[in-house]
Amino acid sequence: MSKENQLSPEELEAALLDCAREPVHIPGAIQPHGALISCDVELRRVRQVSVNIETMVGISVEQALASSPEELIGTEWIAELRNFVDTGSPFRVLVVSISTGGRDRRFRLLPYRSGSRVVLELEPIKGKPERRLMSVLAEWQTRLATMRNPEVLLTELTALVRELSGYDRVMVYRFDEDWNGSVIAESRSKQIGSYLGHHFPAGDIPEQVRRLYSVKRVRDIPDATADPVGLVPEVDPEDDSPLDLSRGVLRAAAPIHCVYLANMGVVASMSIALHVGGRLWGLLACHGERPTVLPPELRDALRGMVQSTSFQVELIEVRKKAELIGQANDSRDLLLNDQGEFRKLDKILKRHGKAWLKVFRASGVALAVSDRLEIAGEVPDPRNLEAILAWLGQESNGGRIWASNELGATPMGRWVPPGIGGLLATPLPIKHSQIAWLLLFRQEKIRTRIWAGNPEKVLESRGGQISPRSSFKSWSEEVRGRSDAWMAVERRAAADLASDVAAMVAADEISRLNERLTQLASHDDLTGVWNRYRIGEEINQEIERARRYGRECCLMIFDIDHFKHFNDTFGHDAGDEVLVRVAKATRDSLRAADHVGRWGGEEFVVLAPETGLDDGRLLAERLRQIIEDLDLGDYGTVTVSIGVAVTAGEESRRDFVNRADRALYAAKDAGRNRVEMAVG
């Protein structure tokens, strides 16, 4: 790009802001492969129609505007749509037949609310729906159930979608924490270029476009070169607000996006959102070098395939997280089994430091309490560690977890030697100590990132006009100073471990601490129920009683379903309130002889002495129902998944807990909000 065409920083910022504000959901036009009818909410009057209504339906614009929705669509279908409007139920896709001029035409009808209007989108159906689709979907569902490797899974998905759709290139595009995308799976024809392994900057899919994928999972542009089809009249005669087409499939493409596709050499494009864990995880993106109008039923089938694939990807990730949590819990169990032998900081780290490095994929660990500092592995020197701890004490926002995978870009960069890229700093819940932290350091991971075009040139200036970048030629960048990002599950596991370490330290100093710290040694600071250390001791005692006197004892482990939703939607204070309410409801529902403890994060343990399998099941079901019936006001409802085990033979505490834990994950895999009994 010549200097005269380069954007100044101020011009680039203004251009990016304009792109972010572009009202892509209200283009005032549709794509030409379908037709649109906008009606009042009572479905008694047609307010607007697309200019191509005659080509698609066989009735002129003037006739359509003068007709009622019943006359256009048919009394039967309008009656069904009115029922949805009256009951507030979500609309469903219909297949309708419209007769005009002695000719029957079949359409896929997508209805949806748009403010004070009901929009009807019509796409023609040619011939009979493909009978093969049902068998292909069934085969894919069967194949999904056997897949454990996400890379293989997504590569097979792209190949199948390309085979069914005829697109030249199909790829899976995954977002990172900064919304940059990377192509992690691809299937393509020989004549089209590959983007596998390439990265795309976040600006290629702006925030307002990403938001639309939560409203409508599919974005289909059969021909980006086709002229958009306007509406008649241009403004609704009864509501002058622009018609929001977010929930439809015919919404006209933004001009800047059409230029972007043209610069890539793409004429037809379809993308289907993959949501994992309630977040936009990635996209299945299809590119064609020629117009590609898919039959609506095929597009719907592909959306179903991607949706089911999202569930399997989420299940694979849940299993990986469960494996990490299991490893962390094993380490915590070893720590708690030390009892009074290794409570001092130096002994704790000497005995367990190597295991913690492995679990958290860390290169160094430091434990700091007051004026005591113990280290293992590769960490900054003591003076720099003191500076880091002082900064954390001032900037950690009330002692919350602090994490970075690019330390050099933070104020702490001056205290970190080359080679260390990441830090996970977790406060120890010791209220009397000004300094109490568990620090985990990670080595930098040097990597070469290949971008599809220069990521700094999201927009270009051409003859005074702003347009998307014109080149997607591979552009390499060496990334230094960054470690692997800290996953949410790792932060949770570190917080649980920090709580256990705090309990160990508190137990060592119990004679010198006040009543508050005595409580900390046995009770969870937030919920007031027993902590993992104390409930673990009680489990040991009950196992011993069961062996000695031949009595049964029931152990329940339950986990709050979709707990992340409360934190993400309402904030961490809401998540804390949910934990407190669930703990209180559990404690209030138990017998005097029963015990409840917080096992970690959103997991709780209930110990019911002298309780067999049948009574344990009943107790668990009663507890599940009590929690589901809690009134949480604006937060909605909360449910739990429960795993139940009863003492068996000479098993250890770890085996006893593991059986209940496996039952818990069986409850999760079976759909959550249920009770599963341990086998064996």
Convert the pLDDT of each residue in 256-289 to its tens digit.
888 889 888 899 999 999 998 888 999 999 999 9
The pLDDT of residue 464 is 47
pLDDT of residue 677 exceeding 80? yes
**Size of the chain, expressed as the number of residues it contains:** 680
Same domain for 186 and 309? yes
Report pLDDT digits (tens) over 227-264. Answer: 999 999 999 999 999 999 999 999 999 888 888 898 88
Q: Are strands 402-404 and 420-427 parallel, antiparallel or unpaired?
A: antiparallel
The pLDDT of residue 481 is 81
Asked whether residue 279 is domain-assigned, the answer is yes
Question: What distance in Å separates the CA atoms of residue 246 and residue 200, rounded to the nearest whole number?
Answer: 24
Percent pLDDT > 90 in the chain is 43
Helices (H), 550-652: 563-570, 572-589, 613-628
Residue 463: which pLDDT band, with cuts at 50, 70 and 90? very low
* C-alpha 656, offset from chain centre: 32
Asked whether residue 333 is domain-assigned, the answer is no
Report pLDDT digits (tens) over 304-326. Answer: 999 999 998 888 888 877 777 77
Structure tokens given for 326: 């299991």
pLDDT of residue 2 exceeding 50? no
Question: What distance in Å separates the CA atoms of residue 188 and residue 176, rounded to the nearest whole number?
Answer: 24
- Tell me whether residue 635 is exposed, middle or buried, using C-beta atoms within 10 angstroms of its C-beta: 0 to 12, 13 to 18, 19 or more: middle
Contact 421, 482 (CB under 8 A): yes
Question: What distance in Å separates the CA atoms of residue 157 and residue 274, rounded to the nearest whole number?
Answer: 12
The residues, any chain, with a CB within 8 Å of residue 468's CB and separated by 6 or more, are 204, 256, 257, 259, 260, 263, 458, 459, 460
Same domain for 98 and 244? no
Residue 35: which pLDDT band, with cuts at 50, 70 and 90? very high
Q: Is 58 left (phi over 0), alpha (psi -120 to 50) or beta?
A: left
> Phi and psi for 612 in degrees, rounded to 5?
-90, -170
Question: What distance in Å separates the CA atoms of residue 526 and residue 539, rounded to the nearest whole number?
Answer: 22
> Residue range 375-403: average pLDDT?
85
What end-to-end distance do the CA atoms of the chain give, in Å?
70
The CATH number given to whatever domain includes residue 425 is: 3.30.450.270
Question: What distance in Å separates the CA atoms of residue 229 and residue 23, rounded to the nearest whole number?
Answer: 17
Maximum mean pLDDT: which of 459-463, 474-478, 571-575:
571-575
pLDDT of residue 516 exceeding 70? no
Same domain for 561 and 647? yes
Same domain for 417 and 431? yes
The pLDDT of residue 165 is 92
Report pLDDT digits (tens) over 583-626. Answer: 999 999 999 899 999 998 899 999 999 999 899 999 999 999 99
The pLDDT of residue 513 is 47
Same domain for 621 and 594? yes
Residue 508: which pLDDT band, with cuts at 50, 70 and 90? low
The pLDDT of residue 225 is 95
The residues, any chain, with a CB within 8 Å of residue 381's CB and separated by 6 or more, are 417
The pLDDT of residue 398 is 56
State the virtual CA torsion across 229, 230, 231, 235 in degrees, nearest 10. 160
pLDDT of residue 506 exceeding 60? yes
Question: What distance in Å separates the CA atoms of residue 532 and residue 530, rounded to the nearest whole number?
Answer: 7
Asked whether residue 326 is domain-assigned, the answer is no
The CATH number given to whatever domain includes residue 274 is: 3.30.450.40
The pLDDT of residue 292 is 93
**Which domain range does residue 171 map to?**
128-317
The residues, any chain, with a CB within 8 Å of residue 465's CB and separated by 6 or more, are none
pLDDT of residue 333 exceeding 80? no
Which has more confidence, 12 or 653?
Answer: 653
Please state, rounded to an integer, the average pLDDT across all residues of the chain. Answer: 85
Residue 8: which pLDDT band, with cuts at 50, 70 and 90? low
The pLDDT of residue 142 is 85
In the chain, how many domains are there?
Answer: 5
The CATH number given to whatever domain includes residue 46 is: 3.30.450.20
Asked whether residue 44 is domain-assigned, the answer is yes
Asked whether residue 14 is domain-assigned, the answer is no
Same domain for 230 and 174? yes
Same domain for 516 and 562? no
Asked whether residue 20 is domain-assigned, the answer is no
Same domain for 543 and 565? yes
Same domain for 294 and 168? yes
Same domain for 90 and 215? no
pTM, rounded to two decimals: 0.65
Maximum mean pLDDT: which of 5-9, 67-71, 488-492:
67-71
Report pLDDT digits (tens) over 354-364. Answer: 888 888 899 99
Which has more confidence, 402 or 322?
Answer: 402
Helix/strand/coil for 384: helix
> Among 71, 104, 124, which residue terminates a domain?
124
Report pLDDT digits (tens) over 96-109. Answer: 888 877 788 889 99
The CATH number given to whatever domain includes residue 629 is: 3.30.70.270
Same domain for 296 and 250? yes
Residue 458: which pLDDT band, with cuts at 50, 70 and 90? low
Asked whether residue 287 is domain-assigned, the answer is yes
Residue with tokens 């600071």: 525
Question: What distance in Å separates the CA atoms of residue 554 and residue 542, rounded to the nearest whole number?
Answer: 9
CA-nearest of 436, 431, 435, 437 to 513 is: 431
Which has more confidence, 422 or 341?
Answer: 422
The pLDDT of residue 11 is 47
Per-residue b or e along 607-627, where b marks 16 or more CB atoms closer than 10 Å to that residue's CB = bbbbbeeeebbebbeebbeeb
Contact 57, 46 (CB under 8 A): no
Same domain for 177 and 290? yes
Q: Is 14 left (phi over 0), alpha (psi -120 to 50) or beta?
A: alpha
Q: What is the DSSP letter of 363?
A: S
Asked whether residue 217 is domain-assigned, the answer is yes
The pLDDT of residue 21 is 55
Contact 575, 590 (CB under 8 A): no
> Residue range 337-353: average pLDDT?
69
The residues, any chain, with a CB within 8 Å of residue 77's CB and separated by 6 or more, are 94, 96, 109
